[in-house]
Structure 1
Amino acid sequence: MTGPRARLIDSAIELVREQGVHAAGLSALLDRSKASRNSLYQHFPAGKSELVATATTIAGARLAAVMEKITATRPPERWFDALLGWWIAAMPASSYRIGCPIVGAALAESEPDVQAAAGAVFADWQAKLAAGFAGAGLSAEEASSFGSFVLSALEGAIVQSRAMKSTQPLIDAQKHLSVLLGHYLRPDAER
């Protein structure tokens, strides 16, 4: 059994990925986490905003670890199968109710600390992907730019899939990102 702090964080991640920051109300967070209001303020004195910012950072770190594992243990031509394959399976299984919790946090204009946490996560993810691409043979500049593009394509495909109730945008992103990476990794590729 996890403690109230961990339950609050996990509940915030789940609610933000399903409903966004503003729809993830305090009552819903407390109900889902089975934590008391007292526990919330004991662990997050600034309240919901601090909880969601912390949850965003933790969700980002968890996904960064997955990215690092994928880029360290698979050949580059299989990276997008792993990065997008999870979403291709998870979207229909969730009835297209889940999204990326970092995007949910990024859209929280009225919560600057939450939005800043999302920005820091995206920067970290880009750096992780860039390190993987550089390790696979792209120049540092190409690796950084491609890492940014991959995040844009991945997040855009997640949003489209959720809105369209279809995995096709994810499948398309997986296919075209793999082709593009293959092009960049060819020794004779023009860049």
Structure 2
Amino acid sequence: MLQLVETGPDHQPSEGERATIDRRHRAVEPGRRQLAEAVGQKVLHGFLQNRHQTLMPLSVNLTRLAEGECAALARFAAVAARAGGAEAALDPVRAWLRGSGADAGLLAAFEAALRSPPPLDAALAALVEPETALIAFILCLVAAREAGPAGWAFADYVALHRALPNAAVRAAERRYRA
């Protein structure tokens, strides 16, 4: 049975009708609706851009990490540099550490760990903080540029083992995998 519903400019919907009307189909002036949608899109776009910018900083600053985290990263950097089996991966990792603010102590710890790399399980277990684990993943990406497929597979393993968020992994890959 067809039910006629009054829909004029003077019609005020009853409480029951208001509950069934979707918020997108409410009677709103066309100009206000377009304005609200445009502002909403701009706010959402700005939020998403900011989320991507803050998710992965443009540069990593090792100087603000605690001493224990730096030592763990130095040991892990040696593991990452050796992971692909390519000697050519050592220089990019050294250069990245220097460019990220590594002091002489961290570089010396890296060189010592290269001579006697720690076991993989110990190096991974030392990456306690999420930020440290993400930096370790970045080190894997830097080393994998020279190491080839084995290095990329190791980087993927580290991301899975440390349960890094997919968004952070994708952001790091966009920035450091090239």
TM-score, normalised with respect to structure 1: 0.24
Tell me which protein shows more helix as a share of its residues.
1
TM-score, normalised with respect to structure 2: 0.25
Bigger radius of gyration, 1 or 2?
Answer: 2
